[in-house]
Amino acid sequence: MTSIKILIVDDEEIILEEVAEALTDEGYDCFVASDVGSAVEIINSTPEIKLVLTDLRLPDGTGADLIKIVETTLKQHIKFIVMSGQAHPSIKKNHSDLSLYYFLKKPLDIDSLIKKVASVINGEQ
């Protein structure tokens, strides 16, 4: 059986490492990117990605920008989990309604992250 592919997008190296390690330990195949541009390149070259965990604020844009690119330009059907230190994230600039996406508040609790990822991938949420 092929592992489910997950992309983690965050500009904090420690978060990339911790999340990738935890999800790899759970049997997922993880890719990492530190900005929107790199994330788009990985998604283009790895069409089997099923889930993207993205930080809201990135050096070259936002997680909302990434979602919009994937859904409108790349026309990929990928599930998203948005991560942020803000309790109620909102970015109005590109009119993405972030309330439509799953959300995890930073600092991340790894057990909660693993449960959320499993439930999103299995379509339980």
> What pLDDT band is residue 124 in, cutting at 50, 70 and 90?
low
| Cβ-contact 103, 125 below 8 angstroms | no
Helix (H, G, I), strand (E, B) or coil at 30: strand
Burial 79-100 (b: 16+ CB within 10 A, else e): bbbbbbeeeebebeeeebebee
pLDDT of 115 above 60: yes
Mean pLDDT value of segment 86-109 = 71
Q: Summarize pLDDT for 39-75 with one digit per residue, the tens.
A: 999 999 998 999 999 999 999 999 999 999 998 888 8
Q: What is the pLDDT of residue 97?
A: 63
CA dist 53 and 40 (Å) reads 13
Strands 57-58 vs 61-62: parallel, antiparallel or unpaired: antiparallel
| Cβ-contact 113, 22 below 8 angstroms | yes
Q: Whose CA is closest to 8, among 38, 26, 71, 93?
A: 38
Q: Which CATH architecture has domain 5-121?
A: 3-Layer(aba) Sandwich (3.40)
Q: What is the pLDDT of residue 54?
A: 96
Domain ranges, ordered by start, for the chain? 5-121
pLDDT of 88 above 70: no
